[in-house]
Chains A and B, each alone.
Chain A
Amino acid sequence: MTTKRPNSTRLHQYLSSRFLTLVLVVALAFSLLILVPKFNAYAVPGNQRGYEPAQPIAFSHRLHAGELQVQCLYCHSGAEKSRHAGIPAANVCMNCHRFVSAPLGAIRAEDELAKKEKREPQRVVSPEIQKLYDALALDDKMQPDPSKQLRPIAWTKVHNLPDFVYFDHRPHVNAGVRCQKCHGPVETMERVRQVEDLSMGWCVNCHRGVNRTGLDGNGNFTSAPAPAAEGPTPVTHRVYASIDCSTCHY
């Protein structure tokens, strides 16, 4: 009977409040150590990072910008002469897709099949590109079909800013900021995804950085000559990114 006390008290000591507090403090310190560096990574309400909506046409930037090396500004030509980069009008797509109606593989396959079946290979149109033709109300001969009606393509915007923010592509593109800097490696994306959180802090810190260390962060303060094909090519000048409120808010 007497031996019981010491045992339980010893146990009790182990689990005494002081011991528990110690454990808790250590745990807390540990978790803080883990969490704090990640702090900015946590999404606050309104953070759209990772937004990757489905589009009416499964347009692949990987294919066009990546494999086929189409320049961003070929389609998004507004970026250098307007505040909006713009989504290309369907007639821009048709510059190529008047001739390209399906992936090469599909066409080859059809030819093979035709050869096997001893018949004329018929025209192959990939379902996605067909949507484009439908939008333009074109028939198989690529001629406007009066019976159909024109249907504009309702793309889903990926990079949205609040109404009180006035972002302008011109100064950025013309100063030689690479598109990927804000839009991420679009040329590797099947479907475009928002890579940066586009928060004010993100914008402002980049602007601060540019003024401190130059565009590419190596103290180079002269902007690249504009990728503008037509129009006056800008004379090289000092890069300067304002952090005035009225740069974006008015």
Chain B
Amino acid sequence: MSGEKKQYWKTLAEKEGGPEFLRAPAEELSVASPRQFRRRDFMKATGFTLGVAFATGCSRAPVQRALPLLSEPEEFVPGRSLFYSTTCAGCSAGCGVFAKVRDGRPIKLEGNPEHPLSRGGLCATGQASLLGLYDSQRLQHPLKEGKKVSWLEVDRAIQAELARVRNERGTVRVLSGTIPSPTFRAAIQEFLRGFADARHVVYDPLSKSALLDAHAQTHAMRVLPHFHFDKAEVIVSFDADFLGTWISPVEYTAAYRAGRDLGSRHVSYHVQFEPRMSVAGSKADQRFAVAPGEMGLLVTQLTRRVARKAGAWFDESEPESASVTPAFLDELADRLWQARGRTLIVCGTNDSQQQVLTNYLNHLLGNYGTSIDLERPSLQAEGSDHELERLFGELRDGSVQALLIAGANPVFDLPGGEELGDALKKVPLLVSSAERIDETSALAKYVLPEPHYLETWSDTEAISGMVSLRQPTVHPLGETRTLVETIAAWSGKPRSSYDLLRESWKAKIFPRQKKEADFETFWERALEDGFAEVEPGSARPQPFNVRAVIPVLHAQSLAANSFALVLYPTVAMLDGHNAYNPWLHELPDPVTKVTWDNCACVSPATAGRLGLADGDVVRLVTSDSKTLELPTYLQPGQNERVIAVALGYGSRLSARFAKIGPQWIDALLSVGDNGLVGVNAAPLLTLSLGALQYTASEVTVTRTGKQRELASTQTHDTLTVPKRLTPRGSGPRPLIQETSLAAYRKDPHSGVEDHEEKEDLWPTDHPYSGPRWGMVIDLNACTGCSSCVVACQVENNIPVVGRDEIRRNREMHWLRIDRYYSERESGQIEVAYEPLMCQQCENAPCETVCPVLATVHSEDGLNQQVYNRCIGTRYCANNCPYKGRRFNWFNYAHDDQFENLVLNPDVAVRSRGVMEKCTFCVQRIQEAKIEAKCRGERVADGAVGTACQQSCPARAIYFGDLNDPTSQVSKMMADPRRYRLLEELNVRPSVGYLTVVRNRPAEGDERSKEERHG
């Protein structure tokens, strides 16, 4: 123990325990060694940091700024829409509209219900014309030889050149389309007065010249009469598409529908003779597909029969017989004669001889003064093809020193555009006032940017004595100036279009009325209403001049295996000045349902003979060897010797659409080989005998072997169950339910398929304590004009997807119009239209299957779609019997910031991968509900109108609260004609349809019903 260290202890135990005891605490420590602690600390630290990271990582949304106005106008409230009454300028018909202005920008056009012509309706073109305002390719500043210059510069230069012309006593011409604005017309006259040889040449690309000329011959006044389709019990139309594109479709549709009201004693009887299937023809009770060469002969034959009854003079030499059976013409003549004074004959051909005969018919039937108004003529078309011909002559021999083209595009929409172009290049001073650079303004030395009609003051006198005002709804978005202002500037007294308008109204319009003594009140009134009724211009028609009547005794015969070419305008494109508008290109044509293309329509029989199928590209060669290459489209109801081609396509304005729609590895361009949408058919027009000819005979058809698939939203062969796949004993699917007037008179319920009301498994699911929204669509009233489709697109920010997507059956329109053909025993093709949107089912199949509750039922009967919740399984769409749902397959581009200004701020713009659909314009419903709530009232009937309903010129759509028995929609729901689509599924849609009622005797009707979908 010596070597041992000396020990000390406090207690015995310690002593006993010895060093081990002392060592023990060390072990104790070592058990929980610092290493473990460190790990624990580490864990704690990590956890803490992670926690902090998460807490702070809760990212803040990006900073949003809000810039209030510095000084706020009285009526302006951010987030509230204001409606300004103005006048549509989509075409020269001059329909009254309300422009919905939200936070300073117009976002929607609504028909003005008070307007005596349009009566609240608006056509597809009108609806779409809004987009023109936000077109980023619109001219923003004047151009001199294609270079940007200031207005001052342009004015100086032009004034100088004009002065020179004036001194040289040179010829000055103004070329324009029909100008319905009295102020504008006056301004042009004012402008021309200063020159020695000056003339204002007016032409219409869709010419009505012959119609006016005919009245010049028969009534010694060159006017376009004002037709009243509501006053006619028998309507006979010779190739006049008065419900689609002829003169004033919205007005005529409204009137036509009024004349066909099943409640009234007389339901008008409509007979249509036409070479191709037009919108008007598709609604006719009797429709005959006659070759254009036969039209004159038909008019003559009908005239003779009526003349006999009237005991009036008519050339007695017996003409050859036409394809329409004499028996039918006799019967028609009888009907006409019985209803004389209450009938209307219209002729759409641009042939003055036929027009004169038509006038004679109307004269014999005493329609002048009743259904045809010459005292208050229409000013919607006043072009003269004679004048045009003269101008062409002058241009050819280069005698024109100065030519001012006001908003017209003759190089594109007139025959011989190329030669005309060369002739125009010869004109020393060529000034064009246009909204965009088109075929014509591209040639002009000076281009003056016209403002969009929603940016300016103007007026319209569509019907003599019916003047409507046009007021700006937004500050001009570019350095634009109306031609009226420009002319004023040239005259040395520059004034704003507002002053100019007021001046001319004070001077010319105000005196023509007695109601208001004071101009200001009159002006205010007109401004608020959007129109004013004044005395018509003093035009007194002369007694009918029979000597002008020359019968047509022979049908133009066609050589074997050659065809008659018919060039027609479509509802969307009209004369082609809308070619810049993607909404209209995407709009399916009411009849063909083709989008993003024009095509050569041939009858199925002919196609069979020529071995043509849809999409086969054919070459059309006219007698004067002009050619056109177009894809074929098989069009039932078309005359077998006719090839029909749409005008207005192939405009350079459509060059911009090459890459519209989603771009991905398999995407196709929306334009054709020419880099444009469709092909321009105008070169095949002919300007001869003082009239533009829209038909050409002796056209040969050869197939090129090329293929171009047409982007059609419906193809006729998929509209019916193929015969060999139809189960035995099962009739046609009762999607269109129709009856005849006779049957309807006996039993209003006739033609409706009954289904016993199945018991509801969930009677307490939806109590509907408040309102319950429902819709009824009158299929008899619907003309398929498709204005609702565009209205819906504008209201609900529906994207444009382009040709390729539509070809893949991915169009986004929430509202589509199904078009059904049926064949009568007589072989006549009949058409029925069925607008179809989400049916807002009570037992909605889509609601049960959505995994994330993105589509659920609302307490007021809506089938809600919550875009931000949707993950896009598409299960709902699969399970929808009506296929009313649309899916965002891609992020449909909204990259044109300028164009985005048109978006409706009340509707979310849907992102990619989201399902969307019609919700009865729920944003409007919410607005109305909130307004009512704030007043502590129920939502009144009519307080909510869906976009489609509001826009419908035929008033075919009823919408409202089904829980309110007094509401119009409940009354229509109770109508015996009402049926529901696929009622047997018991999904209980909130949309009802009213049967189609054809004005014809009952017999044979049943058979035609059998043969529907055949």
A and B bound?
A: yes
Residues of A bordering B, CB below 8 Å: 1, 3-4, 7-8, 11-12, 15, 42-48, 51, 53, 78, 80-84, 86-92, 135-136, 150, 152-157, 160, 162-164, 166, 168, 170-171, 174-175, 223, 226, 232, 234-237, 242, 244-247, 249-250
Are the CB atoms of A78 and B55 closer together than 8 Å? Answer: no
Asked if residues A45 and B933 are in contact (CB atoms below 8 Å), the reply is: no
Any chain A CB within 8 A of the CB of B517? Answer: no
Cβ–Cβ contact A246 & B858, under 8 A: yes
Contact with A along B41-81 (1 / 0, CB 8 A): 00000000000000101111101111111111000011110
Give me 15 A-to-B residue pairs in the complex whose CB atoms sit less than 8 angstroms apart, sorted by A's number. A47-B58, A80-B934, A86-B68, A87-B68, A152-B67, A154-B65, A154-B67, A157-B64, A168-B930, A170-B933, A235-B937, A237-B936, A246-B864, A246-B919, A250-B923
Residues of A within 8 A of B906 (CB): 166, 250
B152 on the A face (CB < 8 A): no
In the docked arrangement, what's the CA distance between A81 and B935, Å?
Answer: 11
Across-interface contacts of A1 in B (CB, < 8 A) = 20
A86 to chain B: which residues have CB within 8 Å?
Answer: 68, 77-79
CB contact between A81 and one of B80, B860, B862, B936 (< 8 Å): that residue: B80
Describe A's contact surface by its main secondary structure: loop
Question: Is residue B908 within 8 Å, beta carbon to beta carbon, of the partner chain?
Answer: yes
Complex Cα gap A250–B907 (Å): 6
CA distance A15 to B31 in the complex (A): 8
Contact partners of A168 in chain B: CB under 8 A: 926, 930
Q: When the two chains form their complex, are residues B926 and A136 in contact, meaning their CB atoms are under 8 A apart?
A: no
Q: Mark B921-941, 1 if CB is under 8 A from A, else 0.
A: 011001000110111110000
For A3, give the chain B residue with the smallest CB separation: B20
Interface assignment of B83: CB less than 8 Å from any CB of chain A: no
B316 contacts the other chain (Cβ, under 8 Å)?
no
Are the C-beta atoms of B867 and A249 separated by less than 8 Å?
yes
A43-B58 contact in complex given A152-B70, A245-B858, C-beta closer than 8 Å:
yes
Given A174-B933, A235-B936, A246-B864, also A4-B70 (CB < 8 A): no
Q: In the assembly, what is the distance between CA of A249 and CA of B864, in Å?
A: 9
A12 to B931 Cα, complex, angstroms? 77
Q: Does B17 reach chain A (CB closer than 8 Å)?
A: yes
Contact B858 A152 (CB under 8 A): no
> Does any Cβ of A come within 8 Å of B32's Cβ?
yes
Known contacts A47-B58, A249-B868, A170 near B930 by CB under 8 Å: yes
8 Å CB interface, B883-935 against A: 906-909, 919, 922-923, 926, 930-931, 933-935
Could you list 12 further interchain pairs (A-B, Cβ under 8 angstroms) beyond the known A90-B69, A155-B68, A250-B922? Answer: A7-B27, A8-B27, A8-B31, A42-B55, A83-B79, A86-B79, A155-B67, A157-B66, A234-B936, A244-B858, A247-B926, A250-B926
Q: Tell which of A53, A153, A223, A236 touches B63, judged by Cβ atoms closer than 8 Å.
A: A53
User: B856 on the interface (CB 8 Å rule)?
Assistant: yes
Residues on the A chain within 8 Å of B55, using CB: 42-43
Question: Are B70's CB and A91's CB within 8 A?
Answer: yes
Residue from A42, A46, A170 with most neighbouring chain B CB atoms (10 Å): A170
Cα–Cα distance between A138 and B489 once the two chains are bound (Å)? 35
Query: Taking CB as reference atom, which chain A residue is nearest B57?
Result: A45
> A180 to B940, alpha carbons, bound, how many Å?
33
Q: How far is the CB of A75 from chain B (nearest CB, A)?
A: 10
Complex interface bits, B1-35 against A, C-beta within 8 A gives 1, otherwise 0: 00000000000000001001100100110011000
B866 at the interface (CB under 8 A from A): yes
Distance from B888 Cβ to chain A, minimum over Cβ atoms (Å):
14
Most chain B Cβ neighbours within 10 Å, of A4, A44, A150 = A4
The answer to whether A250 and B908 touch across the interface, beta carbons within 8 angstroms, is yes
B61 contact set on A, CB distance < 8 A: 46, 48, 160
Q: Which 9 A-B pairs have the closest CB atoms?
A: A91-B71, A89-B72, A164-B868, A234-B936, A82-B79, A235-B936, A84-B79, A237-B936, A157-B64
Interface centre among B17, B60, B933 (most CB of A within 10 A): B933
Residues of B within 8 A of A15 (CB): 31-32
Bound complex: CA A158 to CA B867 (Å)? 25
A201 to chain B, nearest CB (A): 14
For B155, list chain A residues within 8 Å (CB). none
Decide yes or no: A89 and B59 within 8 Å by CB, A164-B908, A170-B934, A249-B868 being known contacts: no
Asked if residues B70 and A78 are in contact (CB atoms below 8 Å), the reply is: no
Q: Does B859 sit at the interface, judged by CB under 8 A? A: yes
Q: Given A47-B58, A171-B930, is A89 in contact with B70 using a C-beta cutoff of 8 Å?
A: yes
Q: Tell whether, in the assembled complex, residue B936 and residue A236 are in contact, meaning their CB atoms are under 8 Å apart.
A: yes
Nearest residue in A to B867 (C-beta to C-beta)? Answer: A164
Candidates A3, A42, A155; contact of B66 at CB < 8 Å:
A155
Within 8 A of A (CB), among B835-865: 856, 858-860, 862, 864
Q: B868 near A162 (CB under 8 angstroms)?
A: yes
Q: How far, in Å, is B939 (CB) from chain A's closest CB? A: 13
Q: Smallest Cβ distance from B924 to chain A, in angstroms?
A: 10
Let me know if A171 and B934 touch, CB within 8 A.
yes
The smallest C-beta distance from A113 to any residue of chain B, in angstroms, reads 34
- Residue pair B58, A46 in contact (C-beta under 8 Å): yes
Find the A residue at minimum CB distance from B103: A84
Interface residues as binary, B864-881 with A (CB distance below 8 Å gives 1, 0 otherwise)? 101111000000000000
A245/B80 contact (C-beta < 8 A), A46-B61, A250-B922 known: no
Check B58 against A245 for contact (C-beta < 8 Å): no
Closest B residue by C-beta to A174 = B934
Please tell me if the beta carbons of B71 and A82 are within 8 angstroms of each other in the complex. Answer: no
Q: Do B866 and A245 touch across chains, with their CB atoms under 8 A apart?
A: yes
Rounded to whole Å, the gap between the CB of B841 and the closest CB of chain A is 16
List of A residues within 8 angstroms of B930 by Cβ = 168, 170-171
Distance (whole angstroms) from the CB of B299 to the closest CB of chain A: 54
**Distance A174 CA – B859 CA, assembled complex (angstroms):** 22
**Given A48-B60, A163-B908, A246-B919, A90 and B68 contact (CB-CB distance below 8 Å):** yes
Cβ distance B236 to chain A, nearest Cβ, rounded Å: 48
- A155 with B936: CB separation less than 8 A: no
- Which has the most chain B C-beta neighbours within 10 Å: A48, A162, A164, A235? A164
Q: Which residues of B contact A87 (CB under 8 A)?
A: 66, 68
Bound-complex Cα distance A12 to B24 (A): 12
Chain B nearest CB: distance from A3 CB in Å? 6
Smallest CB separation, B654 vs chain A (Å)? 32
- B62: nearest residue on chain A (CB-CB)? A160
Least CB distance, B690 to chain A, in whole angstroms? 57
Give the residue of A45, A152, A237, A249 whose beta carbon is less than 8 angstroms from that of B908.
Answer: A249
- Chain B residues, Cβ within 8 Å of A250: 864, 906-908, 919, 922-923, 926
Is there contact, CB below 8 Å, between B867 and A90?
A: no
How far is it, in angstroms, between the C-alpha of A83 and the C-alpha of B79 when the chains are bound? 6
The reply to whether A78 and B77 contact each other, CB–CB distance below 8 Å, is yes
Residues of B within 8 A of A166 (CB): 906, 923, 926
CB distance from A85 to the nearest CB of B (A): 9
Bound form: Cα–Cα A171–B927 in Å:
10
Name B906's closest neighbour in chain A (CB-CB).
A166
Report Cα–Cα, A223/B937, bound state, in Å. 13
Contacts of A92 in B (CB 8 A): 72
A81 contacts across to B, CB distance below 8 A? 77, 80
Please name all residues of chain A whose beta carbon is closer than 8 Å to the beta carbon of B64 when the two chains form the complex: 156-157, 160
The answer to whether B936 and A82 touch across the interface, beta carbons within 8 angstroms, is no
Interface centre among B64, B70, B78, B79 (most CB of A within 10 A): B70
- Measured in the bound complex, the distance between the Cα atoms of B60 and A100 in whole Å is 37
CB distance from B51 to the nearest CB of A (A): 10
Q: Give residues of chain B (402-454) contacting chain A, Cβ–Cβ below 8 Å.
A: none
Whether B78 lies near A226 (C-beta < 8 A) is no
- Contact status A91-B32, CB under 8 Å: no
Q: Which residues of A lie under 8 Å from residue B867 when comparing CB positions?
A: 164, 249
CB distance from B79 to the nearest CB of A (A): 4
Closest to B923 in A: A250
**Cβ of A31 to closest chain B Cβ, rounded Å:** 11
CA distance A15 to B29 in the complex (A): 12
Determine the residue in chain A with the shortest Cβ distance to B868: A164
* Given A86-B77, A235-B936, A237-B936, A44:B71 Cβ within 8 A: no
Closest B residue to A7 by CB, please name it: B24
- Most chain B CB within 10 A, of A43, A157, A232, A246, is at A246
